[in-house]
Chains A and B, each alone.
Chain A
């Protein structure tokens, strides 16, 4: 950033990141497409899911064979967990399988909406923080819940922009702004981003980052969309730092009034 003394870094759980875009690894047509899309997105944090190894059929390639662990921070998720206990168990397995204490904690309340069960989420977050995890919880765009998650020691809060995979964008920008005023930890909009402008809007609101998967992987050309998201997150961040002009109902001339050639 040209006008800043210090580089504009995102710090979560003591780790510094240059990119404010976090991306998922699901739903790609091939490993090659996923690797390329992640590369083009510029993301440094990538989410992964924890699942049973197929012990009958060992022919499938392993995700980690394709990901440079020196380059990326893995953020294992607890997708598909509907209770605090299942989410806690998944996080413990993720820590043992992976290299860090970072977890994207999600505890779902309903299969149709995939909205979070914030009661179970808070329960799981409390236990996991005590066990030394760096917890990034996926949650509702509810400032009260976000504050509670911060209070139990979460390293960031990740309110949804819209339901997971919906592509509906940032449905309640006012709540996202109130969340930013309410908590001190980074606010990452997670879920709902459908296209570049959605990501830019999240960043223009002042969010610290955006996390997405389907918005990129589900696009007709995921690699081109990864680049669009990379640019959108950076553009939105720059616009936020630059400070937008106030909105006004009537015009203000850009050219001087003095020196006009007619009387």
Chain B
């Protein structure tokens, strides 16, 4: 079974993982990013317990150089 979700504006297919496992599958260090799930901030402490659902919209951001 797989889900369709939108990640940073792109359609993606994923097995039903937790947000933490999904970040790991993308090789993203969870301590270095912030995640918004369906427009709400997802606190870092909830990555492991939050399961992805069909149609979820994820924003995964980090810091880059800027002024």
Contact = CB atoms under 8 A, between A and B. Distances in A.
Nearest to A212: B67
A93 B34 contact: yes
Contacts of B29: 62
A69 B59 CA distance: 24
A214 B29 CA distance: 30
A219 interface: no
A74 B34 CA distance: 15
B65 A94 contact: no
A93 B59 contact: yes
Contacts of B60: 52-53, 55
Interface string B24-39: 0011110011111001
B27 A52 contact: no
Contacts of B7: 55
A63 B64 contact: yes
Query: Which secondary structure dominates where chain A touches chain B?
Result: mixed
Interface stretch (A19-27, A167-175, A253-261): A19-27
Contact of A24 (B12, B44, B67): B67
Interface in B1-44: 7-10, 12, 26-29, 32-36, 39, 41-44
A27 to B, nearest CB: 7
Nearest to B29: A62
B51 interface: no
A58 B27 contact: yes
A98 interface: yes
Given A58-B26, A93-B61, A97-B32, A214 B41 contact: no
Contact of A214 (B9, B43, B61, B67): B67
A139 interface: no
B36 A93 contact: yes
A134 interface: no
A115 B26 CA distance: 37
B27 A50 contact: no
Contact of B66 (A49, A62, A92, A98): A49
Given A55-B7, A64-B32, A77-B66, A97 B61 contact: yes
Interface string A104-145: 000000000000000000000000000000000000000000
Interface of A: 24-28, 34, 47-53, 55-56, 58, 62-64, 74, 76-77, 79, 89, 92-98, 164, 191, 211-214
Given A34-B65, A52-B9, A53-B33, 13 more contacts: A24-B67, A26-B67, A48-B63, A48-B65, A49-B65, A50-B62, A51-B64, A63-B63, A89-B36, A93-B34, A94-B63, A96-B34, A96-B43
